[in-house]
Copies of this chain bind each other. A is one copy, B any other.
């Protein structure tokens, strides 16, 4: 549990912005990684905290000198680490990525800064200018199941959003096999509250959100263009997120009264009236079984509990009432964020893809 030993053979990495939930998750996952360890925690706060004061559950996990956060000093980070995980706000990520890359540090950015290829779409959805077009050109979208080879060679990886990870892995094989229409898809999703970040918000308290459930960002959520872009990249018939007219895909997220986990119930139109459940499941099995260690195709619908605290996505699909209904589940903090970041780091640094996961 303590990282003290065997560090010789282990690759040092840095985390920028470790005081959020994805930072916490990265630290806990890396604490049991056999070939990678946290060497530098960089905080943007004026007074850098000890991370185990921020998160008391980390007491005893990191050596004292690492647990003490330090400033975001690019030279010091480059000296201490071969790869940096950025768990920063979008704007800060665009600010710190170029100097790190210049110093030879590989970057996995967990913000949305480099996810959307079209800076205009980015600016429309995120409300501020994109300040690093060069980074945008370099960045590889870090969904290993779809872009594994590009990730291996990347210096900058845009770690996908949580909702897009589940949606893309569920829809991609079915679109590729041509069994569902690339239009009129509805992604009805629900996420645990950790997806909203660690900041205090009145609507997220136990009283307000604890026994509650609600839809938000209906049809206007930032992850909608990201899902569409990913499917468009892999399936050209899918309209692009910048396109006008009827959206090829409607995304409606909901807030669950749980800490973690995403469940997506996805509705698509079959391309043939003869499509049946067996055929749809065959497509998924053929795409993933024996090839993808983190994708489980199953004959019954998954639940949040099946994937919480794991890096796996569970997928089920069926044809019913004239629709293809797909249910996909992930842990938003792991396969939807920090676990996927480590999966990407493993690829970029030549480790086993499932090391530490």
Q: Which residues of A contact B (CB under 8 A)?
A: 1-2, 21, 32, 34, 56-57, 59-60, 184, 186, 188, 190, 192-194, 198-202, 204-216, 218-220, 246-247, 249-250, 252, 254, 256-261, 263, 265, 267, 293-294, 296, 298, 300-312, 314, 318, 320-323, 325, 327, 354, 357
Q: Tell me, in angstroms, the Cα distance from A214 to B329 when the chains sit together.
A: 9
Evaluate whether A257 and B301 lie within 8 angstroms (CB atoms) in the complex, with A215-B327, A306-B57, A323-B186 already known. no
13 contacts between A and B (CB under 8 A): A56-B300, A186-B267, A186-B323, A199-B202, A210-B210, A211-B261, A213-B256, A219-B320, A219-B321, A219-B323, A219-B325, A246-B321, A247-B321
**This chain: copies in complex:** 4
Q: Tell me, in angstroms, the Cα distance from A281 to B209 when the chains sit together.
A: 27
Contact present for A259 and B60 (CB under 8 Å): no
Q: Tell me, in angstroms, the Cα distance from A357 to B2 when the chains sit together.
A: 9
- With A190-B213, A200-B204 already in contact, 14 other A-B pairs whose C-beta atoms are closer than 8 Å: A56-B302, A56-B314, A59-B314, A60-B294, A60-B296, A188-B265, A201-B205, A205-B206, A208-B305, A210-B258, A211-B261, A215-B265, A220-B320, A250-B321
Contact present for B246 and A211 (CB under 8 Å): no
Contact present for A303 and B210 (CB under 8 Å): no
Minimal beta-carbon separation of A221 from chain B (angstroms):
11
List B contacts of A56 (CB < 8 A).
298, 300, 302-303, 306, 314
Q: Find the B residue at minimum CB distance from A309.
A: B309
Going nearest first, the 7 A-B pairs with the smallest beta carbon separation are A219-B320, A214-B303, A247-B321, A246-B322, A200-B202, A250-B321, A193-B206
Contact present for A212 and B305 (CB under 8 Å): yes
